[in-house]
Amino acid sequence: MGMTITEKILAEHAGKKRVSPGDLIMSKVDIALGNDITAPLSIEEFKKAGAKKVFNKDKVVLVPDHFAPNKDIKSAQQVRILKNFAKDYKITNYFEMGRMGIEHALLPEEGLVLPGDVIIGADSHTCTYGALGAFSTGVGSTDLAAAMITGETWFKVPESMKFIFYGKLKKWVTGKDLILYTIGKIGVDGALYKAMEFTGEIIDNLPMDGRFTMTNMAIEAGAKSGIINPDDITMEYVEGRAKRKFKIYESDKDATYSDVFEFNGKDIEPQVAFPHLPSNTKPISKVGKVKIDQAVIGSCTNGRISDLREAASVLKGKKVHKDVRMIVIPATQRIYKMAIDEGLIDIFIDAEAVVSTPTCGPCLGGHMGVLAEGERAISTTNRNFVGRMGHPKSEVYLSNPAVAASSGVLGRICSPDEIE
pLDDT tens digits along 313-328: 999 999 999 999 999 9
Q: How many angstroms separate the CA atoms of 219 and 125, rounded?
A: 7
pLDDT digit string, tens, across residues 104-158: 999 999 999 999 999 999 999 999 999 999 999 999 999 999 999 999 999 999 9
Say how far apart CA 302 and CA 178 lie, in whole Å: 13
Q: What SS3 state is found at 138?
A: strand
Q: 108: part of which helix (H) or strand (E)?
A: helix 103-109
Fold designation for 271-419 = Aconitase; domain 3 (3.30.499)
- Give Rg (Cα) of the chain: 20
Closest CA to 354 of 323, 316, 326, 322: 326
Alpha carbon of residue 249 to chain centroid: 22
CA–CA gap between residue 204 and residue 165 (Å, rounded): 9
Please check whether the domain covering 5-262 is classified as CATH 3.30.2310.20: no
Query: What span, in angstroms and rounded, lies between the C-alpha atoms of 34 and 40?
Result: 8
Of the candidates 291, 227, 309, 324, the residue with the CA atom closest to the CA atom of residue 9: 227
The rounded percent of the chain whose pLDDT value lies above 90 is 96
Separation CA 252–CA 254 (nearest Å): 5
Say how many C-beta atoms besides its own lie within 10 A of residue 73's C-beta.
8
**298: three-class secondary structure by DSSP:** coil
Residues spanned by CATH 3.30.499.10 within the chain? 5-262, 271-419
How high does pLDDT run on average in the chain? 96
Q: Residue 295: is its pLDDT beyond 90?
A: yes
pLDDT band at 268 (very low <50, low <70, confident <90, very high): very high
In whole angstroms, how far apart are CA 319 and each of 107, 265, 347, 401, 416? 34, 32, 10, 16, 14
d(CA 198, CA 177): 14
pLDDT tens digits for range 373-394: 999 999 999 999 999 999 999 9
Give the per-residue SS3 of 209-264.
HHHHHHHHHHHHHCCCEEECCCCHHHHHHHCCCCCCCCCCCCCCCCCCCCEEEEEE
Residue type, 359: T
Q: How many CA atoms lie within 13 A of 289 on its CB side?
A: 1
Residue 137: in which H helix or E strand, if any? Answer: strand 135-138
Give the whole-angstrom CA distance, residue 230 versus residue 245. 15
* Percent helix / strand / coil, the chain, rounded to 5: 35, 20, 45
Strand partners, 395: 376
User: pLDDT (tens digit, 9 = 90+) per residue, 405-420?
Assistant: 999 999 999 999 998 7
- Give residue-wise pLDDT tens across range 197-239: 999 999 999 999 999 999 999 999 999 999 999 999 999 999 9
Instruction: Tell me the average pLDDT across 164-178.
Output: 96
Are the C-beta atoms of 118 and 10 separated by less than 8 Å? yes
